[in-house]
Amino acid sequence: MPLLEVYNLKKIYTTRFGGNPVQALTNVTFSIEQGEFTAVMGESGSGKTTLLNIIAALDKPTSGEVFLNGKNIVSIKEKEISAFRRDNIGFVFQDFNLLDTFSIKDNIFLPLVLAGKSYEEMIELLKPIVARLKIEDILEKYPYEVSGGQKQKTAIARALVTKPQLILADEPTGSLDSRSSSELLHLFNEINNDGQTILMVTHSIKAASFAKRVLFIKDGEVFHQLYKGSMSNEELYQKISDTLTLIATGGAHSE
């Protein structure tokens, strides 16, 4: 059974002032196996972020279903959603979403505190992750005292510390310089090679070329997908570039 199953997802937004409804997702169906690293690409307004928000249980679809490890996210009761999200999904955002009044260590601890873990348990979970991300030396600092790359590593540590079934990343390299971006993407590859499932929304062809599969969304639907297979990052980069050109020029997709 796939880890994540998305069926016939549709999302229509109605505007407050009676304007035309906006259809963000039309009929999205795909699945993700345990241990996959999948990127989602598409032009602005294609529905990528809406899709991610529904999978994250931050938004509800107009119709359709989303199953995470067999559990239907769409039907989870409102009062249980935040606990479900905290226990099963890790988030990495473009703008880090760190609390400036918390130290780096306390930012990482936050989901564990909310889950009621003891300090001893939290330290045990923290140690291997910060060693892996090489951020032991900044744990007592505050977000405004560290670089963008270190902030994103903190966000990744916070996402990983609960041992989630799925990591969702929304434009994770969007606020980083090219060196920090490369470091982050190599890190995602390592984490994925350890068995962590990752779903990443990105505009960056370079970021997507690190994934094992790329889904392309066009007009609210899955338009095409590419599997990396034995391709190098450079070869996949070229294929992604060609596909995006095809989408932009309105061409028909081909395998």
pLDDT tens profile 3-23: 999 999 999 988 777 678 888
Tens digits of residue pLDDT in 22-74: 888 999 999 999 999 999 998 877 888 899 999 988 889 999 999 999 999 99
pLDDT over threshold 60, residue 137: yes
Q: Which residue has the tokens 């045990």?
A: 124
Residue pair 52/170 in contact by the 8 Å Cβ criterion: yes
Query: Alpha-carbon distance 117 to 233, whole Å?
Result: 40
Mean per-residue pLDDT for 72-91?
Answer: 88
Alpha helix segments (H runs only) across the chain: 48-55, 78-88, 104-114, 119-133, 148-160, 178-193, 205-208, 233-249
Query: Alpha-carbon distance 17 to 159, whole Å?
Result: 38
Q: For 64, left (φ over 0), alpha (ψ -120 to 50), or beta? A: left
Residue pair 112/162 in contact by the 8 Å Cβ criterion: yes
pLDDT band for position 241 (50/70/90)? very high
Q: Which residue has the tokens 């990591």?
A: 167
Mean per-residue pLDDT for 78-85?
Answer: 86
Query: Alpha-carbon distance 49 to 201, whole Å?
Result: 7
Query: Alpha-carbon distance 222 to 25, whole Å?
Result: 10
Q: What is the pTM of this model?
A: 0.90
pLDDT band for position 251 (50/70/90)? low
Task: Return the C-alpha torsion angle 129, 147, 207, 126, nearest 10.
Answer: 10
Task: Give the C-alpha distances (Å, rounded to integers) separating 73 from 33, 144, 234.
Answer: 17, 35, 36
